[in-house]
């Protein structure tokens, strides 16, 4: 193998030839506040509830099959440990469920921290708990869910899609889009996870479990008419005792992306926390817009929004760390006389920017791009976008085919789809071919 240091690399997709350009530079660490400003244009927050005080009965309503089944039982309460919903089947082997349901909402991102208290169940018994997003239509049970299920052999996490109609009885077709390994009852490290569901109800679904992307699809037939409802629901076949699902930190937002407009094209926007760690970074497009996905984080973030021009000058920023939700939109008012810089650091993190254009240079957006390390996908985005990576480690970047656009080769002639990238110190990349 031959390794070569590059400042700029690119790959080409075809049939309709698509050029992907990629630049990797050192991390941009803010030095001082800029004189230009970044202000909130609109909030992306739809609703938030820590679920650790008392039940907000104006927001949450409760229902479920356990309320109708003979001999089934249910309960619900809230304390400092979370919202607890309990359910017990009326007869062994028959599922009973009970849920908290939100009002109708047009939000597209839904999150809850889900706790499973049972790493295993008795033989023949099943329990599951999770967060679901479902169409408002009372005649349809079309939903997606992020769920953890426990059986006698252990527990596992799943992402499920379901479609069905209510016609006296419920007939569902359930598709499992993701399933984790089955964790043995002795492994209690995966009982509690952040579940984040992002969907348009039509074809797009992205799900984070524990901050990692496990589903990212744009080709689904979800058939979930907006508005939506969020459900927090446990279900069980156990008739021997009541089992509880526990939920905390519920929120819904109008997307996972933080958008900054009126920024200098060719520059970069960062979200930087109070310890000066870059949480997210994105290139500024030719239209002056940067889009930063934050769905993998437990929101809200407390961070500064920093805008750097193409020369790494810090030209605009918030006055300090602010509360940031997915869906927030900001407007930059850059200074023309910057007094501080966004400087590459000799070690730490680097940035990979991904932009896609066709063979005649017309920008294309929405190409699904993934970042891999040691055979595991660790991040994804839709171009134009960027990844923050650690210097000295090897990564692979790949772009998926879409429609008539299929991968052909990197512009330097490399035909491997997943270009190997080794961020160097102090900056630059090594492209292994």
Q: Are 310 and 264 in contact (CB under 8 A)?
A: yes
Q: Are 38 and 316 in contact (CB under 8 A)?
A: yes
Task: Determine the Cα–Cα distance for residues 354 and 372; give it in Å rounded to an integer.
Answer: 14
Query: CA separation (Å) from 409 to 214, 375, 405?
Result: 27, 21, 12
What would the pLDDT profile of 47-97 be if each residue is shown by its tens digit? 999 999 999 999 999 999 888 888 889 999 999 999 999 999 999 999 999
Query: CA separation (Å) from 11 to 1, 246, 390, 401?
Result: 19, 47, 22, 13
Q: Within the chain, what is the greatest distance between any pair of CA atoms?
A: 74
Residue 165's pLDDT is what? Answer: 73
What would the pLDDT profile of 122-137 be if each residue is shown by its tens digit? 999 999 999 999 999 8
Distance between first and last Cα of the chain = 6
Class of CATH domain 46-253: mainly beta
pLDDT of 173 over the 80 cut: yes
Residue 410's pLDDT band (cuts 50, 70, 90): low
Average pLDDT of 33-54?
Answer: 92
Q: How many helices (H) and strands (E) does the chain have?
A: 0, 39
Domain residues of the chain, as ranges? Answer: 1-27+345-433, 28-44+255-342, 46-253
Question: Any residues with CB less than 8 A from the CB of 124 and at least 6 apart, and which?
Answer: 92, 93, 152, 237
Between 26-30, 80-84, 201-205, 253-257, the lowest mean confidence (pLDDT) is in: 26-30
Please indicate whether residue 345 or residue 242 has the higher confidence score (pLDDT): 242
Task: Determine the Cα–Cα distance for residues 272 and 280; give it in Å rounded to an integer.
Answer: 7
Residue 28's pLDDT band (cuts 50, 70, 90): very low
Domain 28-44+255-342, what fold? Immunoglobulin-like (2.60.40)
Residue from 102, 121, 112 nearest 235 by CA: 121
Topology match between the domains 1-27+345-433 and 46-253: no
Residue 353's pLDDT band (cuts 50, 70, 90): confident
As given in the structure block, the two tokens for residue 401 are 């085919």
Q: Are 232 and 83 in contact (CB under 8 A)?
A: yes
Residue 205's pLDDT is what? Answer: 96
What pTM does this model have?
A: 0.75
Task: Determine the Cα–Cα distance for residues 234 and 148; give it in Å rounded to an integer.
Answer: 10
Give the right CATH number for 1-27+345-433 from 1.10.10, 2.60.40, 2.40.10, 3.30.310: 2.60.40
- Three-state SS for 387? strand
Residue position matching structure tokens 């002795």: 186
Please indicate whether residue 184 or residue 19 has the higher confidence score (pLDDT): 184
Question: What's the DSSP call for residue 67?
Answer: G
Pairing of strands 257-261, 329-333: parallel
Residue 170's pLDDT is what? Answer: 58
Number of neighbouring beta carbons within 10 Å of residue 189: 6
Question: Any residues with CB less than 8 A from the CB of 425 and at least 6 apart, and which?
Answer: 346, 347, 391, 392
Angle at 11 between CA 9 and CA 14, to 5 degrees: 165
Peptide bond into 388 cis (omega under 30): no
Q: DSSP characters for 338-405? A: --SBEEE-SSSEEEEEEEEEETTS-EE---EEEEEETTEEEEEEESSEEEEEETT--EEEEE--BTTB
């Amino acid at each position: 193998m031959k390794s070569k240091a590059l400042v700029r690399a690119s790959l080409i997709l075809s049939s309709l030839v698509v050029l992907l350009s990629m630049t990797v530079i050192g991390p941009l660490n803010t030095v001082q506040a800029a004189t230009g400003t970044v202000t909130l244009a609109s909030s992306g927050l739809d609703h938030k509830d820590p679920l650790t005080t008392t039940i907000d009965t104006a927001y949450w309503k409760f229902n479920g099959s356990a309320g109708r089944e003979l001999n089934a039982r249910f309960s619900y309460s809230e304390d400092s440990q979370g919202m607890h919903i309990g359910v017990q089947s009326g007869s062994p082997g028959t599922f009973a469920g009970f849920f908290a349901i939100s009002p109708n909402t047009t939000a597209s991102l839904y999150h809850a921290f889900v706790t499973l208290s049972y790493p295993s169940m008795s033989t023949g018994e099943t329990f599951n708990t999770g967060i679901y997003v479902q169409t408002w239509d009372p005649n349809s049970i079309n939903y997606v869910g992020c769920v953890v299920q426990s059986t006698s052999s252990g527990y596992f996490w799943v992402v499920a899609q379901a479609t069905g109609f209510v016609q006296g009885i419920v007939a569902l077709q359930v598709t499992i889009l993701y399933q984790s390994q089955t964790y043995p009852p002795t492994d209690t490290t995966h009982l509690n996870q952040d579940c984040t569901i992002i969907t348009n109800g039509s074809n797009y679904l992205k799900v984070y479990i524990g901050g990692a992307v496990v589903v990212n699809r744009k080709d689904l037939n979800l058939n979930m008419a907006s508005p939506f409802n969020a459900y927090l629901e446990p279900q069980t076949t156990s008739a021997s005792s009541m089992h509880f699902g526990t939920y905390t930190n519920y929120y819904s937002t109008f997307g996972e992306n933080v958008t900054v407009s009126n920024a200098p094209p060719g520059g970069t926007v960062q979200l930087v926390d109070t310890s000066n760690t870059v949480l997210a970074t994105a290139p500024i497009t030719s239209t002056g817009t940067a889009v930063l996905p934050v769905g993998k984080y437990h929101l809200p973030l407390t961070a500064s929004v920093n805008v750097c021009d193409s020369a790494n000058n810090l030209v605009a920023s918030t006055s300090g760390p602010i509360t940031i939700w997915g869906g927030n939109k900001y407007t930059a008012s850059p200074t023309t006389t910057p007094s501080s810089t966004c400087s590459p650091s000799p070690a730490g993190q680097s940035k990979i920017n991904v932009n896609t254009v066709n063979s005649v240079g017309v920008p294309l957006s929405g190409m699904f791009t993934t970042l891999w390390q040691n055979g595991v996908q660790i991040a994804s985005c839709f171009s134009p976008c960027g990844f923050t990576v650690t210097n000295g480690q090897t990564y692979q970047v790949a772009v998926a085919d879409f429609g008539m656009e299929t991968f052909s080769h990197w512009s330097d002639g490399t035909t491997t789809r997943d270009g190997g990238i080794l961020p160097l110190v102090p900056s630059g990349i090594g492209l292994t071919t």
